Amino acid sequence: MPRRWILPILFLVLGIAAAARQIAQGSVGGAVVLLLLFLVLAVPLSPLPFPKSVSAAEAQRRSQEDGRPIVYWRPGCRYCLRLRTRLGGKARRAHWVDIWRDPEGAAAVRAVTGGDETVPTVVVAGTPHVNPDPRWVRTQLS
């Protein structure tokens, strides 16, 4: 199982266990509430809220053709989720690279950040920006 799914699956397993305990105690309503709560916590930690990822090589090729920014991210990163949420529908205008799926993408981020995998790292016109302000990124996508 890829590591990008470990945390969301852990939340789901904990939710199922908590719900089972509530059912054993006779509280079906409490079980449903707990299961929904854990599901709501699991989804943002998964890759589901993000646009489809491409490889770093593909993102660089496409970015050179269309001039759109490249966003390096990873599941479970709250700053990546904050960026994704604040970009709204404009997020699809960028090329997204999941550094946990693409070793070349992780290497590109480490090269920019001095050896760390600090995300989100956004590359605009060949210039990298580590954890930029989401409002600034929105202006780059306009």
Pair 76, 99 in one domain: yes
Per-residue pLDDT reduced to its tens digit, 79-102: 999 999 999 989 999 999 999 999
Q: How confident is the model at residue 76 (pLDDT cuts 50, 70, 90)?
A: confident
C-alpha to C-alpha distance for 123 and 134, rounded to whole angstroms = 13
Separation CA 124–CA 63 (nearest Å): 9
User: pLDDT digit string (tens) for 96-108?
Assistant: 999 999 999 999 9
Whether residue 47 is predicted with pLDDT greater than 90 in this model: the reply is: no
Is 31 part of a structural domain of the chain?
yes
Interatomic CA distance for residues 130 and 122, integer angstroms:
6
Which pLDDT belongs to residue 134? 95
Same domain, 96 and 117: yes
pTM: 0.78
Does 125 reside within a domain?
yes
- Please, which residues bridge with residue 123 across strands? 70, 128
Tell me the two tokens of residue 112. Answer: 């920019």
- Same-domain check for residues 89 and 29: no
Measured between alpha carbons, how far is residue 104 from residues 21, 38, 39, 56, 57 in Å? 44, 33, 32, 6, 8
Q: What percent of the chain has pLDDT over 90?
A: 81
Encode burial over 54-69: b for 16+ CB neighbours within 10 A, e otherwise: bbbeebbeebeeeebb
Same domain, yes or no: 28 and 8: yes
- 1-41: pLDDT as tens digits: 577 788 889 999 999 999 999 999 999 999 999 999 999 98
Q: Do 66 and 122 lie in a common domain?
A: yes
When divided into structural domains, the chain yields a total of 2
Q: Domain residues for 91?
A: 56-141
90 and 25 within one domain: no
pLDDT for 1 equals 55
CATH code of residue 68 = 3.40.30.10
Q: Please provide the average confidence, as pLDDT, over all residues in the chain.
A: 92
Is residue 50 situated within a structural domain? no
